[in-house]
Amino acid sequence: MGSLVTALGSFLDARAHRGEWYLRIDDIDPPRHDKSSFESIPLCLERHGLIWDGSIILQSQRREAHENYLSKLRDNNYLFDCLCTRATLGEFGACFSNCRERTDIEGSVRFHLPSNTPQTINDLFLGEQRAESLPENFIVKRRDGLIAYQLATAVDDLDEGYTHVIRGEDLLQSSLRQMVIHQTLGRPSPKYGHLAIVTDEAGNKLSKQTGALAVDTEAPSANLRHALAFLGQPSPPTDMDCVSDILHHATINWRRDALNRKSL
């Protein structure tokens, strides 16, 4: 349900502003892939009337571009190799060892934040938000050779031409990291909007890791009503049961200023 809420919020914000809405699957971590999700995610969206523009984009197909951006950043002295383990990392997972001064090592690749790093983000829904846990440096390529989320997402958002990125509030600090990468590349960042995340009674984010159940795709109308209520949006008429009608009503009545925290 948490993923559906975020998908619905981003879909409605795009459609309400006559924008396009894209589906990208961030499949850059093969060891953690749930292959069934490559079918279940699009199917769930389709069942709820959340139809994307264009073809599904697979982030794994951008590996060459990711490596090219890494080369650019390294040439401009933003990157360094790091041998630190989890046990030796400092605050917020940053490297505080002398790895940056060494040239004879191969490990994970880290991005060192420049002194003029932005510390705030003007969020579409939350207003101005300050950085709370930006590390001094963070991983952009893992020790096993896989491209890290922060780098891949930052450069793909640029090359794919997104003007707005709407996602969960738990990714707010990631957005700030990605803005720094955009800045060092001399490119403007998309506008960001972060939605409140759905949690259980203990305050844990609903996810597979916390035992959250999959969305019942046989009850799309009820699910959409549930998600709209969480997003603080006007409720569709009680006699409206068609998915397309609910989405049309939600689109023309979409209110950014109504987004708030609700309990599911």
Largest CA distance in the chain: 69
Tell me the average pLDDT of the chain: 90
* Structural domain boundaries in the chain: 2-258
Q: How confident is the model at residue 243 (pLDDT cuts 50, 70, 90)?
A: very high
* Cβ atoms of 50 and 10 closer than 8 Å: no
Sheet-wide strand order for 137-141: 79-82, 108-112, 137-141
Q: Using CB atoms within 10 A of its CB, is residue 234 exposed (0-12), middle (13-18) or buried (19+)? A: middle
| Poorest-pLDDT segment among 107-121, 193-207, 212-226 | 193-207
Q: How confident is the model at residue 262 (pLDDT cuts 50, 70, 90)?
A: very low
Long-range contacts formed by 175-178: CB under 8 A, 24+ apart: 175/121, 176/118, 176/119, 176/121, 176/131, 176/134, 177/134, 177/138, 177/150, 178/150, 178/153, 178/154
The reported pLDDT for the residue numbered 106 is 83
Q: 141-151 pLDDT, tens per residue?
A: 999 999 999 99
Euclidean distance between CA atoms 224 and 241, whole angstroms: 10
Question: In the numeric block, which tokens belong to residue 129?
Answer: 């938000």
Euclidean distance between CA atoms 159 and 236, whole angstroms: 37
The H-assigned helical ranges of 17-82 are 37-47, 63-75
Euclidean distance between CA atoms 150 and 175, whole angstroms: 8
Residue showing tokens 């950085």: 131
Q: Rounded mean pLDDT of 84-105?
A: 85
pLDDT at 260 over 60: no
Q: 110-168 pLDDT, tens per residue?
A: 999 998 887 889 999 999 988 777 888 999 999 999 999 999 999 999 999 999 999 99
Q: How confident is the model at residue 207 (pLDDT cuts 50, 70, 90)?
A: low
Report angle CA 186, 190, 192 to the nearest 5 degrees: 135
The reported pLDDT for the residue numbered 37 is 78
pLDDT at 264 over 50: no
Nearest one of 49, 36, 11 to 223, comparing CA atoms: 49
Judged by DSSP in three states, 123 sits in strand
**What's the CATH code, domain 2-258?**
3.40.50.620
Q: How confident is the model at residue 210 (pLDDT cuts 50, 70, 90)?
A: low
pLDDT at 59 over 80: yes
